[in-house]
């Protein structure tokens, strides 16, 4: 597939291209709720691409202009997490970049809204977390190390007791950021697995925002191909949902409702007057 044909990818709902390379690497924006790949065959309508998925080779397969096309999935994001996800239309590039992920040589930056205001402005987390390992169909817990660098970006002075964090995972464990935030007493807002359920309900009631407040905002990778170093980088702006929760102030919902009611009454009165 040539660069000119990238716009013919069968992108899922809300998915769009952030960056491409002539070597065949593509950065896609994945909205919250979209699956990195279908878990079962009838979930293609919720997936990154509207295409069949080969689980063994980790590749999407579809037909375009009478030809079979392949799009290799390089990394994954949890369904409720938004942001950058990498794919490739070149199998060699897919292997090279996957190797960089395996060797922890891909730089990724996330933003998260977490409960409570943090005291330290920056630091490093190193935790021993559990990973499920299946041996002969028996689930045996395995303890692995998870490392993350964090930095406080914003702490609202009123409104919800929350902090906007910049997170840089140094290891790539399943649910790593969600687990580590919870372990350090700052669960991510909207996390239905590791979060504070009562606080999540409060945020939904006051703002209407139900999503997990975790977003992959930047990914950069360098790899060696055909005798040269290829550098690739992509950015995804912070979703407006984050700003809505950060801007919330007590009474905001009630005030807006009153303003809407007054506006509606004024419009109705004007109609009656014109009659």
Nearest Cα residue to 115 out of 160, 56, 62: 160
Nearest Cα residue to 92 out of 225, 230, 231, 228: 225
- Which superfamily is assigned to 104-220+236-250 in CATH? Pseudouridine synthase (3.30.2350.10)
Most distant CA atoms of the chain, gap in Å: 80
Structure tokens at 107: 């730089």
Residue with tokens 């935030």: 181
- HEC assignment per residue over the chain: CCHHHHHHCCECCCCEEEEECCCCEEEEEECCCCECCCCCHHHHHHECECCEEECCCCEEEEEECCEEEEEEECCCCCCCCEEEEEEECCHHHHHHHHHHHHCCCCEEEEEEEEECCCCCCEEEEEEEEEEEEEECCEEEEEEEEEEEEEEEEECCCCCCCEEEEEEEECCCCCCHHHHHHHHCCCCECCCCCCCCHHHHHHHHHHHCCCCCCEEEEEEEEEEEECCEEEEEEEECCCCHHHHHHHHCCCCHHHHHHHHHHHHHHHHHHHHHHHC
81-117 pLDDT, tens digit each: 999 999 999 999 999 999 999 999 999 999 999 999 9
Contacts of 124 (CB under 8 A, 6+ apart): 147, 148, 149, 150
220-264 pLDDT, tens digit each: 999 999 899 999 999 999 999 999 999 999 876 543 444 455 554
pLDDT for 134: 47
Active site residues: 78
pLDDT for 141: 67
What distance in Å separates the CA atoms of residue 151 and residue 26, rounded to the nearest whole number?
28
* Residue range(s) of every CATH 3.30.2350.10 domain in the chain: 104-220+236-250
Tens of each residue's pLDDT in the chain, 275 residues: 444 467 789 999 999 999 999 999 999 999 999 999 998 767 778 999 999 999 999 999 999 888 999 999 999 999 999 999 999 999 999 999 999 999 999 999 999 999 999 989 999 999 999 875 445 455 556 889 999 999 999 999 889 999 999 999 999 998 999 999 999 999 999 999 999 999 999 999 999 999 999 999 999 999 999 899 999 999 999 999 999 999 999 876 543 444 455 554 554 444 443 44
**Count of CB atoms within 10 A of residue 192's CB?**
10
């Amino acid at each position: 597939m040539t660069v000119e044909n990238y716009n013919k990818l069968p992108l899922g709902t809300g998915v769009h291209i952030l960056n491409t390379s002539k070597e065949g690497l593509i950065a896609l924006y994945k909205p919250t709720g979209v699956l990195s790949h279908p878990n079962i065959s009838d979930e293609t309508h919720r997936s990154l691409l509207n295409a069949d998925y080969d689980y063994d080779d980790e590749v999407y397969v579809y037909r375009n202009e009478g030809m079979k096309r392949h799009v290799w999935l390089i990394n994954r994001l949890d369904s409720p997490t938004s942001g950058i996800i990498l794919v490739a239309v070149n199998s060699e590039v897919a292997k090279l970049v996957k190797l960089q992920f395996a060797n922890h040589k891909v730089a990724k930056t996330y933003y998260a809204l977490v409960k409570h205001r943090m005291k330290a402005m920056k630091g490093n987390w190193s935790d021993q977390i559990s990973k499920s390992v299946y041996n002969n169909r028996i689930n045996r817990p395995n303890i692995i190390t998870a490392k993350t660098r964090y930095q406080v970006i914003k702490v609202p002075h009123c409104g919800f007791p929350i902090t906007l964090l910049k997170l840089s995972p140094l290891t790539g464990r399943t649910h790593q950021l969600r687990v580590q935030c919870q372990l350090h007493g700052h669960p991510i807002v909207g996390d239905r697995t590791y979060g504070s359920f009562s606080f999540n309900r409060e945020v939904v009631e006051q703002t209407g925002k139900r999503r997990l407040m975790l977003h992959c905002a930047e990914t950069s990778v360098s790899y060696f191909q055909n005798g040269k170093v290829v550098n690739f980088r992509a950015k995804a702006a912070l979703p407006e949902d984050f700003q809505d929760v950060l801007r919330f102030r007590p009474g905001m919902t009630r005030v807006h409702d009153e303003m809407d009611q007054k506006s509606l009454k004024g419009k109705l009165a004007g109609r009656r007057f014109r009659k």
